[in-house]
Amino acid sequence: MTSVGSPLEWGLFAIMVVAALAVDLGIFHRQAHVVRIREAAAWTGVWITLALSFYGFVTYRFGVTKGFEYLQGWMLEYALSIDNVFVFLVIFRYFRVPQAQLHRVLFWGIMGAVVSRGIFIAAGAVLIQRFHWVMYILGAFLLYTAIKLLLQRDAEVHPEKNPALRLFKRFVPTTHEYHGQKFVIRQEGRLHATPLLLVLVVVEMSDIVFAVDSIPAIFGVTTDVFIVFTSNIFAILGLRSLFFLIEGLVQKLRYLKVGVAVILAFIGVKILIQPIYKIPVPLSLGILASVLFLSAVISLIFPEKKTASEVSPPPPG
């Protein structure tokens, strides 16, 4: 299992993340409130600044190539996060989560995602180290995922069909009303889950599904565990503020999913042709950035025509 990070670098990364989360939750979001665009933009800027600052540190400490690998991995995970945002929007609308409680659900959902991503990355690194041919399976899987994305542009999301949700509701007593920020309350001497905990379960399960696609993609960029983990975590930690910032914009980026499919296909091909030709990291980074930029610009130039207005989904039973 390769890693350029020493205990000192891992410790510095952990301190940055813990400090930022403590300031975020302990000071600015101690009380539940509706997150406005200006606040979301400010926090998006904070997380992007932290991620790019760490890119500068990686470049200074380990060289330009490792820095480019980190930057490419971070950009890739950030792009894949757009799909997460869309699914989270559907989940929150289905469960009619109060706006003031969205940040709390996203915060703890992403904390769970940090743990699950760590497990996925560690398992992937061990497999690649012991069985290098697994990389070619990952490459083929990314090509399959890219084709699937292109053929499923407007696939609907149905939170009520989530198997984890069905299992949870079957075995855990649940209230029908929200109770502020509480995930669990006591009624008639018995603990009950609130709908907020239901939402958290669905969010966590959704992220695990996304990790199945994103982790193979980032291993196509680098197999260095330190670079993979830090770039991945900085991307998903910025997902909360990104959600509030692009809540109204995500529907307008109609070609972004096509761009993500092209990127996944490119990385899949990059893995498969590696024994013949190793694509330089700067070139790979330039292609990734160009595809993202073009897909966003084309989405804004050719917006989707509005049809019938959305029908509000029924409240969860």
Query: How many whole angstroms separate alpha carbon 232 and alpha carbon 141?
Result: 19
pLDDT at residue 28, rounded to an integer: 62
pLDDT at residue 155, rounded to an integer: 52
Highest averaged pLDDT of the listed ranges 26-40, 128-142, 178-192, 301-315: 178-192
pLDDT at residue 309, rounded to an integer: 46
pLDDT at residue 2, rounded to an integer: 61
Mean pLDDT (the chain) is: 78
Is pLDDT above 90 for 212? no
Average confidence (pLDDT) over 150-162: 60
Is pLDDT above 60 for 192? yes
3-state SS, one letter per residue, for the chain? CCCCCCHHHHHHHHHHHHHHHHHHHHHHCCCCCCCCHHHHHHHHHHHHHHHHHHHHHHHHHHCHHHHHHHHHHHHHHHHHHHHHHHHHHHHHHHHCCCHHHHHHHHHHHHHHHHHHHHHHHHHHHHHHHHCCCHHHHHHHHHHHHHHHHHHCCCCCCCHHHCHHHHHHHHHCCECCCCCCCCCEEEECCEEEECHHHHHHHHHHHHHHHHHHHHHHHHHCCCCCHHHHHHHHHHHHHCHHHHHHHCCCCHHHCCCHHHHHHHHHHHHHHHHHCCCCCCCCHHHHHHHHHHHHHHHHHHHHHCCCCCCCCCCCCCCCC
30 — pLDDT class (breaks 50, 70, 90):
low
pLDDT at residue 59, rounded to an integer: 93
Highest averaged pLDDT of the listed ranges 11-20, 96-105, 129-138: 11-20
Is pLDDT above 90 for 101? no
Look at 8-12, 162-166, 236-240 and tell me which has the smallest mean pLDDT: 162-166
pLDDT at residue 317, rounded to an integer: 46
pTM: 0.72
Q: Between 158 and 168, where is the model more confident?
A: 168
310 — pLDDT class (breaks 50, 70, 90):
very low
pLDDT at residue 70, rounded to an integer: 92
pLDDT at residue 249, rounded to an integer: 60
Highest averaged pLDDT of the listed ranges 78-92, 110-124, 138-152: 110-124
Look at 205-219, 230-244, 270-284, 287-301 and tell me which has the smallest mean pLDDT: 205-219
